[in-house]
């Protein structure tokens, strides 16, 4: 089955650059229109231009965990494009790198707020708004997790905990929202983005890449390929699961 997203509409959070922009770019190339979010207006404006302009993409600056921002984006998607089919929860933070017990509890709380609870809140709002159309209800959601959520990391403690929680949230929602709404996750490995460069992972390439069977970092385009497959009808019998895109690490 070929993958198409013709006339579909997607919200992609954290999409001004990196993996989020790669996902938005692939969706537009496959025929979809996208509503993208991030914190900085200038970066979003550049992303919209890269995506082909307002006929293909809308942008809203705000914090991913701000309920008013979420409401604005969901309303705009339906008001402007007339429907809403997909949600990609890509926004995430990792402001601390090091032993968990050295991290302030407020930092840990913020990581969970952005990486887990905001994904849950976005999901509540898009499902409440009705994914799809009256003639074809339903839709698909993909959460961007990490292989850090699949095992101990040593230095990415609360980030890893948040991604483990996001993976289980995916499993629970896949169970509860079926059969109309499919919910899946992609567990990303080392990918060449500014986020990974700032997370501490980029400081250890000599130790990391030998543990990756593919012997290299991934690209945003390779992650996007997995995400758009999970969103598409080609994955119509896949829900509540996590797909690792990590080069085998």
Which residues are catalytic, by number?
159
Of 78, 154, 153, 169, the residue nearest 118 (C-alpha): 169
For residue 189, give both structure tokens: 């490995």
- Inter-residue contact 40 to 92 (CB < 8 Å): no
CA distance 247 to 249: 6
Distance between CA atoms of 133 and 63, rounded to whole angstroms?
28
Pair 145, 242: CB distance under 8 Å: yes
Rounded to whole angstroms, what are the CA distances from 159 to 7, 51, 59, 148, 204? 35, 30, 27, 8, 17
- Rounded to 5 degrees, what are φ and ψ at 57? -150, 140
21 near 38, Cβ under 8 Å?
Answer: no
Find the angle CA(212)-CA(213)-CA(216) to the nearest 5 degrees: 55
Q: Which residues contact 93 (CB under 8 A, 6 or more apart)?
A: 110, 111, 114, 115
Q: Read off the tokens for 95.
A: 């402001």
């Amino acid at each position: 089955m070929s993958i198409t997203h013709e006339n579909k509409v997607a919200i992609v959070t954290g999409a001004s650059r990196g993996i989020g922009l790669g996902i938005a770019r692939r969706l537009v190339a496959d025929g979809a229109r996208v509503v993208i979010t991030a914190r900085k207006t200038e970066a979003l404006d550049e992303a919209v231009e890269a995506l082909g302009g307002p006929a293909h993409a809308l942008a809203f600056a705000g914090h991913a965990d701000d309920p008013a921002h979420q409401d604005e984006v969901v309303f705009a998607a339906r008001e402007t494009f007339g429907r809403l089919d997909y949600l990609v929860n890509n926004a995430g933070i990792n402001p601390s790198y090091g032993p968990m017990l050295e991290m302030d509890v407020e930092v840990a709380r913020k990581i969970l707020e952005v990486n887990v609870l905001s994904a849950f809140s976005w999901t509540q709002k898009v499902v409440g708004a009705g994914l799809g159309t009256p003639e074809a209800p339903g839709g698909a959601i993909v959460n961007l997790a990490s292989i850090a959520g699949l095992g101990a990391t040593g230095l990415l403690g609360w980030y890893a905990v948040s991604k483990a929680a996001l993976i289980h949230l995916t499993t629970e929602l896949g169970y509860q929202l079926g059969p109309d709404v499919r919910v899946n996750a992609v567990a990303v490995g080392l990918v060449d983005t500014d986020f990974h460069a700032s997370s501490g992972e980029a400081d250890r390439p000599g130790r990391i890449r030998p543990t990756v069977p593919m012997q290299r970092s991934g690209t945003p385009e390779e992650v996007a390929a997995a995400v758009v497959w999970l969103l598409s009808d080609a994955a119509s019998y896949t829900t509540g699961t996590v797909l690792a895109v990590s080069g085998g690490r």
